[in-house]
Amino acid sequence: MTAEIISGKEVSKEIYGEMGGEIQAFIDKHGIPPHLTVILVGEDPASQVYVRMKGKKAAKLGIGSDTIRLEAETPEEELLALIDKLNADDKVHGILVQLPLPKHINETNVLLRIDPAKDVDGFHPINVGKMLVGEDNLLLPCTPHGVQEMLVRSGTPIEGAHVVVVGRSNIVGKPVAAILVQKKPGANATVTIAHTRTKNMGDLCRQADILIVAAGVPEFVPGDWVRPGAVVIDVGVNRVDDETSEKGYKLVGDVNFDEAKEVASKISPVPGGVGPMTICMLMKNTLQAAKNQVGDP
């Protein structure tokens, strides 16, 4: 069997198509576009690329965006004061502080300072709590929400399925489990979370109807951990040396794609899988945040 590919590029295109009309309708009704402000502290090259990509995507969709660049030495207090200012600005609907932050800045202090209504990353504990209790019109964390959309839009039956999530980070593993276990459409799964202390990982993974892997270990899951016919979502993005590539490296996921695609019924690739969904869900959150703030969710 060669698995059907669940392309994040295609799924995100579909979602952007749907959002176009909604963004225009928001502008027509409220006279301003949904607006995202990104704060970038320091000059981390990967962060610069991400921030540029976010700005370009927002512009293409008609979402307003700007990036505030601060020097790496910026004191924490100055960053917090800037967040206070943006929290109070009615024209700014979403605030994203690009991570990682320089070491002298406490990430938790920063995330807690963002108004939960503008927290388009969905990392504020208030939003995490709302996600857990299953509130609607929420700002869900982007990568896990993207995984759910990929499952739903690829026609994968989620209700009653056994989902095994490999990884329990606060940004991927735990929230994806919390989203898929909800008593809601596009969820209602039976979820198991695995991590470094899990016993018999291969046996557990083979029980999954849907296997979601976010371990951060290149090609961690071999083909024989995949139950024939299972759906595999590979969240991992890892750089590995590759002398045949001009850059000297290539990107691989946390799943051995070549092996798994022969066993799974559907599989997401790396790159072109979950990656494009994360930015797509950020745009969706910006629109959602704007709608929530004008009282028109």
Contact pick of 111, 217, 251, 294 for ligand NAP (by CB under 6 A):
217
Q: Interacting stretch for ligand NAP, rule CB under 6 A, among 81-89, 151-159, 182-190, 273-281?
A: 273-281
Q: Which is nearer to ligand NAP, 73 or 107 (CB)?
A: 107
CA pair distance 10, 16, nearest whole angstrom: 10
Q: Minimum distance from CB of 125 to ligand NAP (Å)?
A: 17
| Contacts of residue 59, Cβ cutoff 8 Å, sequence gap at least 6 | 65
Q: Minimum distance from CB of 112 to ligand NAP (Å)?
A: 19
The closest residue (CB) to ligand NAP is: 169
The reply to whether 196 sits near ligand NAP by the rule CB under 6 A is yes
Query: Which tokens hold the place of 276?
Result: 């494009």
| Contacts of residue 96, Cβ cutoff 8 Å, sequence gap at least 6 | 36, 37, 38, 39, 54, 120, 121, 282
Query: Which tokens hold the place of 269?
Result: 């690739």
Q: Which is nearer to ligand NAP, 26 or 50 (CB)?
A: 50
Q: Minimum distance from CB of 152 to ligand NAP (Å)?
A: 18
Contact pick of 42, 55, 216, 222 for ligand NAP (by CB under 6 A):
216
Catalytic: 174? no
The reply to whether 169 sits near ligand NAP by the rule CB under 6 A is yes
Which one from 119, 121, 209, 234 is the annotated catalytic residue?
121
- Mask for 38-67, x = binds ligand NAP (CB under 6 A): ------------------------------
Contact pick of 105, 171, 187, 289 for ligand NAP (by CB under 6 A):
171
The reply to whether 212 sits near ligand NAP by the rule CB under 6 A is no
Which one from 98, 148, 288, 293 is the annotated catalytic residue?
98
Catalytic: 121? yes
Catalytic: 54? yes
Q: Interacting stretch for ligand NAP, rule CB under 6 A, among 15-23, 65-73, 87-95, 232-240?
A: 232-240
Q: Minimum distance from CB of 77 to ligand NAP (Å)?
A: 28
Q: Minimum distance from CB of 120 to ligand NAP (Å)?
A: 14
Active site residues: 54, 98, 121
Residues that bind ligand NAP (CB under 6 A): 143, 166-169, 171-173, 194-198, 214-217, 235-238, 254, 274-275, 278
